Amino acid sequence: MQAKPTLEDTIALMRDLRARCEWDAAQTHESLRPYLIEEAYEVDDAIRGADDARLREELGDLLLQVLFHAVLAEERGAFTLQDVAEGFIVKMKGRHPHLYGDGVKQPWEQMKAKKRESIVDGLPVDLPALHRAFRLQDRAAGVGFDWPDVNGPIEKVEEELEEVRGELAERRAAPSGVPRYDAAHERLEGELGDLLFAVVNLCRKADVHPALALDKANLKFARRFAGVERLAAERGLKVGAASLEELDRLWDEVKGGETSN
């Protein structure tokens, strides 16, 4: 019976591809950046779809990126895949001192906070904004800047919502012809940003990741609106020409059908 491939086999194959494939030989850390991001999204998509066969394949594609960067670094004399593995083991054991030593269990962010000068250290600027907000708040909580429970974030959401209402009221009262991107628009944008940030904090304190919650809300809206479009077509209505009242009735019908199933 043939033995299963090992990680050593994968790194050997990657080295061989670098030596004999023109495309692989031409790649750099910089040129591979888009592929790394794309493969991570494809893994996420496979998880969302609960497709194990695809997840297995996509994890292999993501592993390719890890191997590729490790071999590139090895060629530069920077580090090897073994160095990456060693760093992984050291970090994981350090995160669990109560399991791999005589330490006391403590939140990871609190441990990391002791090594940082600022909560932004090492946090990529290009993270999706929703996730970046979550991580900034999580890191701030690690140094003690946090609400004790969900009540504080709820009050903050209500406060920020009132400020948004105030800006919208002033905007409606403004004379016609005011440029869209004026000082009033900038203030409104700032208040809406504060409201979103507060909602992210509420999600965090409720142990819900905002990116996952919004992703599910997007999928639900898309599914329901597809149902609206289907019903409209069945009844000879054009979605773009139908009134808001007609669309609302279709929406409620679709939504009611879901809850009754």
3-class secondary-structure state, position 117: coil
20 and 80 assigned to the same domain:
yes
In a domain, 133, yes or no: no
CB contact at 8 A, 134 and 209: yes
Q: Is residue 124 part of a domain?
A: no
- Spatial neighbors of 96 by CB under 8 A, at least 6 apart, are 105
In degrees and rounded to multiples of 5, residue 229 shows phi and psi of -65, -40
How large is the greatest C-alpha to C-alpha distance in the chain, in angstroms?
Answer: 81
- Would you call 198 exposed, middle or buried from its count of C-beta atoms within 10 A (0-12, 13-18, 19+)? buried
Structural domain includes residue 237: yes
Region of 177 on the Ramachandran plot (φ > 0 left; ψ -120 to 50 alpha; else beta): left
Is the domain of 225 the same as that of 196?
A: no
Residue ending a domain, among 48, 71, 87, is 87
* Token couple for 72: 């590139």
Residue 20 forms part of a structural domain = yes
The pLDDT of residue 173: 62
pLDDT of residue 261: 44
Q: Which two tokens stand for residue 177?
A: 């012809």
- On whether residue 19 sits in a domain, the answer given is yes
Encoded tokens for 94: 């350090």
- What's the 3-state SS for 190-251? HHHHHHHHHHHHHHHHCCCCHHHHHHHHHHHHHHHHHHHHHHHHHCCCCCCCCCHHHHHHHH
Domain count, the chain: 3
What CATH number corresponds to the domain at position 67?
1.10.287.1080
Q: CA 14 to CA 197: how far, in whole Å?
A: 43
Domain end among 165, 192, 208: 208
Is 98 part of any domain? no
Listed residues 87, 102, 117: the one ending a domain: 87
Domain residues for the domain of 237 are: 213-260
User: Quick one: 225 and 163 in the same domain?
Assistant: no
The residue type of 76 is: R
Same domain, 192 and 240: no
**Which segments in the chain show pLDDT lower than 70?**
172-180, 259-261
Residue 101 inside a domain? The answer is no
What would the two tokens of residue 118 be?
């600022």
Q: How far apart are CA 79 and CA 84, in angstroms?
A: 8
Domain co-membership, 62 together with 13: yes
Identity of residue 88:
F
Q: Which pLDDT score is estimated for 178?
A: 55
Answer yes or no: is 159 within a domain: yes
Q: What is the pLDDT of residues 173-209, one digit of tens each?
A: 655 655 567 788 899 999 999 999 999 999 999 999 9
Same domain membership, residue 226 and residue 183: no
Which pLDDT belongs to residue 176? 60
Query: What's the gap between Cα 152 and its chain centre?
Result: 24
